[in-house]
Amino acid sequence: MSPDATATPRLTPVPPVAFETAGTGEPPVIELVDVTKVYKSGPLEVVALRSVALRIGENELVAITGPSGSGKSTLMHIIGCLDVPTSGIYRLAGHDVQSFDDAVLADVRNVAIGFVFQQFNLLPYLSAWRNVELPLVYSGVPTDERRQRAHDALEKVGLDDRAEHRPGELSGGQQQRVAIARAVVTEPALVLADEPTGNLDSTSSADVLRLLEELNREGRTIVIITHERDIAAIAQRIVTMRDGEIEPAHEPDVSAAGRDSTTAERAP
């Protein structure tokens, strides 16, 4: 990142969500209280989340794991303000997300939170740097600054030399690194990744996890849905989901991770 890119004040377009008010007694970045999510399709109801309680503090890196269908993506969509709970409270940096109007929600999703998905979700007809600049287009950053910041973000993921390539001309691992550059080009305080290594070989997976760790070391809060096999490489804290509930604490394999462990969230 150039000094120019970091000189842009973080999150100023989103006045209600100030993540960076350091000091004691700050609210957690993420706080879910008794959150339930029920999907209804006709007469069918699927309970995807049951009374989920979760707190994630500033600058934590949390891995969410659990079997397919256990509610991980549903939880991530709620955390990312892409969906709303059926009942319960979600507070983002201390603010009840239900109180956000559409304009604030759009800013939160575009600027305050960076998303990385399993399928990369890059636009195939745009070059790498054009993909990366998109969140800045939506938030009205001038053209020259967009180009500079997009290239800086690509440099950070080691792909500035691929800036003019389209996604189809890049490997899966490179596409996911472009997606990470796009996720962080707005300098978000929170990065959410839903199975970011799900379509990658082990070498590319390691690259992606290393990049997410680096973002965490820079002070960002990171939540990653990932497979058991990737967890040892990254976990400071593991949240395990089963049947829409967060399982009681289990310790990460610190011998493999070589990091301090804390306990997983325990639902009341």
SS percent in the chain: helix, strand, coil, step 5: 35, 25, 40
Residue 159 touches ligand ADP, criterion: CB under 6 A:
no
Phi-psi region of 225 (alpha: psi -120 to 50; beta: other; left: phi over 0): beta
Task: Give the C-alpha separation, 81 to 68, whole Å.
Answer: 22
Q: How far is CA 162 from CA 29, 114, 215, in A?
A: 34, 21, 21
Give the one residue of 46, 137, 254, 256 binding ligand ADP; rule: CB under 6 A: 46
Q: Does 197 bind Mg ion (CB under 5 A)?
A: no
Specify whether the CB–CB gap between 244 and 49 falls below 8 A. Answer: yes
Q: Smallest gap, in angstroms, from Cβ of residue 194 to Mg ion?
A: 6
For residue 73, state whether it binds Mg ion (rule: CB under 5 A).
yes
User: Does position 69 bind ligand ADP by CB under 6 A?
Assistant: yes
Rounded Cα gap, residues 120 and 31, in angstroms: 27
Candidates 65, 73, 131, 176: give the one binding ligand ADP (CB under 6 A): 73
155 with 163: CB under 8 angstroms?
no
CB of 178 to ligand ADP, least distance (A): 23
Only one of the segments 22-30, 51-59, 67-75, 148-156 lies at the binding site for ligand ADP (rule: CB under 6 A); that segment is 67-75
How many Cα atoms are found within 13 Å in the side-chain-facing hemisphere of 127?
13
- Residue whose CB is less far from ligand ADP, 94 or 198: 198
Distance in Å, CB of 74 to Mg ion, minimum:
8
Q: What is the per-residue DSSP string for 85-136?
A: -SEEEEEETTEEGGG--HHHHHHIIIIIEEEEETT----TTS-HHHHHHHHH
Task: Sketch the per residue contact string, 16 through 35, with ligand ADP: x for CB under 6 A, - otherwise.
Answer: --------------------
Q: Contact between 41 and ligand ADP (CB under 6 A)?
A: yes
72 makes contact with ligand ADP (CB under 6 A): yes
* Contact region with Mg ion (CB under 5 A), list: 65-73, 86-94, 126-134, 151-159: 65-73
Q: Which residues bind ligand ADP (CB under 6 A)?
A: 39, 41, 46, 48, 66, 68-74
List residues near Mg ion by CB under 5 A: 72-73
